[in-house]
Amino acid sequence: MWLKGGSHFRILESCHMNICKLALSLTLLLAPCLADAQNTSVTSRETKVLNAINSYRPGSTGYGSMKVDKVTVDRNRRTVTVKCNTATSYLPLTAETLASLKTDILKALRLPQTYKVRIIADGHTLDELALFADKKTVLTPSPLPFVVREDAPAAPKGLDGANIALWQSHGWYFEPKLNRWEWQRARIFQTVEDLYTQSYVMPYLMPMLENAGAYVMSPRERDTNRTEIIIDADNAATPGFIEFSRDAKWDDASTPGFAWDGASLVNSQNPFRQGKARRHTTTTDRKDESYALWTADIPADGNYAVYVSYVSEPNSAPDAHYTVNTANGLRHFTINQRMGGGTWIYLGHFPLKAGNNVPVVQLSDLSATPGTVVTADAVKIGGGMGNVARIVKEPLDSIDYQYTLSGYPRWVEGARYWLQWAGAPDSVYTPSDNVNDYNDDYRSRGLWVNWLAGGSPQMPGREGLGVPVDLSFAFHSDAGTFRNDSIVGTLGIYSTVGDTLGNGSSRMMSRDLTDLIMTDIVNDVCAGFEPRWTRRGMWDKSYFEARVPEVPAMLLELLSHQNFADMKYGLDPNFRFTVSRAVYKGMLKFLAHRDGREYVVQPLPVHNFAIAADKAARTYRLTWDATPDSLESTAMPTYYIIEHRRADDLGFTKLAEVTEPEYTVTVSDTDIHSYRIIAANEGGVSFPSEVLALCDLANGSEPVMVVNGFTRVSAPDWFEAGDIAGFYDVRDHGVPYVSEIAFIGSQFEYRRDIPWMDDDAAGFGASRSNYEDKVIAGNTFDYVYTHGRAIVDAGHSFISSSVGAYAASAVEGQPRIVDLILGKQKEIKQGRGVYGTRYKTFPGELQRKLTAATAAGTSVFVTGSYVATDLWDNPHSSAAVAEADQKFATEVLGYHWRVGQASTEGMAYEVPCRFKQFTGGRFDFSHELNADIYAVESPDSFYASDKTKGCTIMRYDENNLVAGTASDMGGYRTVILGFPFETIEGTSSRANLMRQILDFFSK
């Protein structure tokens, strides 16, 4: 009752009000803290999700930080929505890894695994971006193949029937603002992007794709030959075309054809619309066969590209048969003339012998399709010089502008000029109407793809040549540098603008292509060269070369040609091979998945190749080992092709096909027989092995074992010394694989702090330009023949072996004279040298073999430019290794190092000595870069380690330093030269020197 009393009630009410006020005050006081607690909860959720996403980021990436903008959990719908920034879309994910990521996100959020997770980045869900995600894919009907090489091994699990369009960045172009021809990028680190990407595409990527069965199309000239021969069907200025008919005569086709009078092409002239093509109705009966024949005056023995042309008519034959008459036999092709008419159709590079009126190409009218026609137009042999003349169309001043040619070989020019020469419409190669060649060049490449594919199942309803292009690929090397020498790395670009491709398929197919190629490149480079190689991501951007092609397309920025750290690897031929193989593998996997079939990767070249004489008279056993590919399990060979070259033939022909790594040949003449091995499987064929050779004179002379120890291909020497760094080719140019097409000249700016100002003032790395239109010889792996030719001229038989096979073989039963080819072999590291060193002149196993062989009475002839320097002045050798190396050289081979870089003029002469077999002679050897034989910039000088056993036999002209020694070591003899024997100029000079050496060994 008392609670209802007035005073007591008022007291209670007052207390309640005070408590409420206190609670309100506390609430207001704590509000920021409570808000912070709520924000902390949200941030924690996003951070947990970001941590989960970051764990799926590849190990070495160069794209920006991934961010989670918002995580929304809908407990009613049991869903989680994660919104991320654009960088998150660069993640390479498969369906499996994406499912795992979603599981990890739910675990991080402590949510049941029954929740659905949706991750959004760059306007797409990661489900849409994952590799091979469900998308609209239109499988177009497969037309008859375009170009088929009938002699090529089948590659059913490779790229048989695929048509691939690809190109290598920019090229020499006309700049109207300066009224000159120039590169589109700066001359830096001994190259320029316009040429640098050629050094992947032409020697490696194109052959790999062709070895897998693909037909490869390029908007740039692919023959480095300056010679070009045109044989035209209807032009007296380009003679050599012959028609033969058994019944009805050839007549003119209804479509215009090629004609060219040798003058420059100007403005929008189209040579494929200025003449006529010839036509003949096909026959199915061989006895009624008619044909067209193209003959040419070949100026010199060599390897030439051969192109044919024709016009496509409504009733064109789908199986026109062409034959190319090469120096090593006939090569047969079938071309579907219903597509590709009115342009140059590349057939391949072939060895052709010099001569007048040489029959090169023949077209038959035989066809399996009655009532059709074959058409014949011009044939092109070789690459030639640029013939498109340019002029400033919109003058900037009162200069009397003149048409000007590039003055360079056509292969270095941009796509814009080749495409005009190749008959493309001017809307393709000059969308600017001849005003801006720079823009025209990069635009023309994508427009060219659509011109090729127009009218095919890939682009129905569009005008074009009707070629079903499966994909297009643009190969670039990015710009930009890091001052701290970190790797810039690899970037892939695709475009989803327009959503669908020409056949209705989703443009997301281009992301799959990009993802596959990016992944293979980065994984393979990390595994073999640099584990820090950077993956820069996959951009969905509207770049012209990625956006315009109406087929799956990728633009690759492999690395930065302007960044020293990248180019330490980028100038290495081994790196270029690996990257090109990764690109090929990515394309193969993409097309195999699209078609729903298995794939097999072509094998790597074989190793440990050797020739041994069997007991049976004049019978020789060829053996080799398959090379496993640690990066691709499918790449093992299932059979091998043995190719043979007889005497001085220009090329190789197929001798046999075997399933085991051995083959026996019987020799019944005194010719030199050369052999190489090609590994093969259902995915295609490998690059060829090194070339070994033999000759059996059957004259009882002491035979010689020629050992190829020159296995090196590498980047030039480089150095880092604080504020200066760069490539130092005065000491060592490096060794190209076969030849180098990207070298422009030596680096001359070594100061790191000199900035790029413009392409004429490139700053750090700036290089000269005196070689930028030239081809530089490298390691052809064919020097056994050169040595063998001299051995035979000196009256001796020979066999040969790779250095690996020789070092692992027994001494017994082998010839007692060894000619060891070391060329420019020397120990090097690739880049930072993470995976050790390569190419040591005398590795331990070889030293042990030579020590045992000499102890058994084997005399040894060794030549190479680093035969002493690599043992005495090798920065990669420990003290113990150097001591063992030097002991081997002094005690087994009989020489001691004096100095490296002993000569710059490439001349040596023999001097009187106590060994009377050395009768005097002068020898010039290659010392400057050229197209025929690699240059020796750093020959060695040394002296006989024991003057009672050895002496000087040769000195360099310019300074009289020792160039060669001979030693009588008791039970055997040695001759050592400080420059490679194969670089001596003149067959007779080499034969004379070899005769003296073999006489010294034999007496």
* 7 burial type by CB count under 10 A (0-12 exposed, 13-18 middle, 19+ buried): exposed
Q: How many helical (H) and strand (E) elements, i.e. helices and strands, does the chain have?
A: 19, 50
* Separation of alpha carbons 547 and 535, rounded Å: 22
Q: What is the pLDDT of residue 43?
A: 59
* Separation of alpha carbons 622 and 600, rounded Å: 27
Mean pLDDT score, 405-422: 98
Q: What is the distance of C-alpha 659 from the center of its chain?
A: 28
Mean pLDDT score, 743-756: 96
Beta-strand (E) ranges in 772-838? Answer: 776-777, 798-802, 817-823, 828-829, 837-838
Tokens of 917: 């077999």
Mean pLDDT score, 735-748: 98
- pLDDT tens-digit profile of 349-388? 999 999 999 999 999 999 999 999 999 999 999 999 999 9
Q: What is the pLDDT of residue 36?
A: 36
Mean pLDDT score, 801-805: 98
Using the predicted structure, report yes or no on whether residue 159 has a pLDDT greater than 60: yes
Q: What is the pLDDT of residue 855?
A: 98
Mean pLDDT score, 76-94: 96
* 34 burial type by CB count under 10 A (0-12 exposed, 13-18 middle, 19+ buried): exposed
pLDDT bin (cut points 50, 70, 90) of residue 40 is very low
Q: What is the pLDDT of residue 16?
A: 40
The CA–CA distances, whole Å, from 165 to 132, 154, 470, 472, 594 equal 22, 21, 8, 5, 17
Q: What is the pLDDT of residue 732?
A: 97
pLDDT bin (cut points 50, 70, 90) of residue 624 is very high
To the nearest whole percent, how much of the chain has pLDDT over 70? 95
Using the predicted structure, report yes or no on whether residue 740 has a pLDDT greater than 50: yes
- pLDDT tens-digit profile of 564-582? 999 999 999 999 999 999 9
Using the predicted structure, report yes or no on whether residue 543 has a pLDDT greater than 70: yes
Q: Give the DSSP letter of residue 918.
A: -
Q: Give the DSSP letter of residue 510.
A: H
Q: Which of 136-150, 477-491, 564-578, 849-863 has the lowest mean pLDDT?
A: 477-491
**469 Cβ partners below 8 Å, 6+ apart?**
163, 164, 165, 217, 449, 452, 453, 456, 458, 549, 551
**3 Cβ partners below 8 Å, 6+ apart?**
9, 12
Using the predicted structure, report yes or no on whether residue 764 has a pLDDT greater than 80: yes
- pLDDT tens-digit profile of 939-987? 999 999 999 999 999 999 999 999 999 999 999 999 999 999 999 999 9
Written as one string, the DSSP assignment of 233-260 is: TT-TTS--EEEE-SSSPPEEEEEEE---
Using the predicted structure, report yes or no on whether residue 32 has a pLDDT greater than 90: no
Residue in 877, 794, 868 with CA at minimum distance from that of residue 829? 877
Q: What is the pLDDT of residue 6?
A: 39
**Average confidence score pLDDT of the chain:** 93
SS3 392: coil
Contact 67, 82 (CB under 8 A): no
- pLDDT tens-digit profile of 240-259? 999 999 888 899 999 999 99
Mean pLDDT score, 893-919: 96
In what helix (H) or strand (E) does residue 692 lie, and over which residues does it extend?
strand 692-694
- pLDDT tens-digit profile of 659-717? 999 999 999 999 999 999 999 999 999 999 999 999 999 888 999 999 999 999 999 99
* Separation of alpha carbons 997 and 1003, rounded Å: 10
Residue type, 385: M
Using the predicted structure, report yes or no on whether residue 150 has a pLDDT greater than 50: yes
Tokens of 686: 């490998």
Q: Which of 33-42, 126-135, 439-448 has the lowest mean pLDDT?
A: 33-42
Using the predicted structure, report yes or no on whether residue 495 has a pLDDT greater than 70: yes
SS3 987: helix
Instruction: State in Å, rounded, how far the first CA of the chain is from the last one.
Output: 141
pLDDT bin (cut points 50, 70, 90) of residue 235 is confident
Mean pLDDT score, 222-239: 92
Residue in 424, 443, 459 with CA at minimum distance from that of residue 163? 459
pLDDT bin (cut points 50, 70, 90) of residue 39 is very low
* β-pair partners for 620: 613, 665
Block residue for tokens 């209670």? 12
Q: What is the pLDDT of residue 22?
A: 37
